[in-house]
Amino acid sequence: MAFRKLLYYFYEKHLEREIKKNPLPAHVGLILDGNRRYAKEMGFEDISMGHKIGAQKVDELLRWCAELDIKVITIWVLSTDNIFRESSELSKLFSIIENKLLDLSRDPAVKKNGYKINILGNTNILPEKLKEVVRTVEESTKDNRERVLNIALGYGGREEIVEAVKKAILSKEGLSAEEIARSLKAEDIARYLYTYGVPDPDLIIRTSGEIRLSGFLLWQSAYSEFYFCDAPWPAFRKIDFLRAIRSFQQRKRRFGR
């Protein structure tokens, strides 16, 4: 066991040195999948233990990204579909998210590494207590300028696009429907996306072996590279993250050309 840990340590350092020689993604998106599956595999009677361990893993992710000087991270924590889970599981999940957000708002490492935290999604569907915590974490990090951490909470990619289109149409007040249809451009819609102001993700990582986006950043991921990892999120290691970055660096991006 000790020998294996030593091998992993040297392999991790080797990967890190190689990766730093090549261009790094400016924006990495992550679908944090597999918390419940991990809890079952580990034999936990309380499924929420998977979510708790997954929440702790976010601290490691922020440190890895700071070490590589990745400027923008977007993590998907709670989808609009998750809201329909059993109330007993959902209440525990909300509590874990609340506690994690409060921890981040007070975390010296968040301040030191300059993470400005934005919450992406329809916060209207969240409990009042969680809404208050959302406001707290955004307010406490609003002056940080070095990096951005987007947390997708109550988020659905289709819903995001629908809301952006509605706002784009309303911004053209006074025009007829035909005039709006003729004048509407992609940039008109992009202006009202949750991520407006930050670059689209260069790389999107999904853990736990599922090979789909499930609605994550549908508009923004048009030219993203994708990496699917078998490890569930709570078991995701720095080596897995570095492998994803290396895979990104080995691809030739064409942006549709």
Q: How many Å separate Cα 137 from the centre of its chain? A: 16
Q: Which of 82, 122, 144, 240 is catalytic?
A: 82
The amino acid at residue 116 is K
33 counts as catalytic: yes
Instruction: Catalogue the active-site residues.
Output: 33, 82
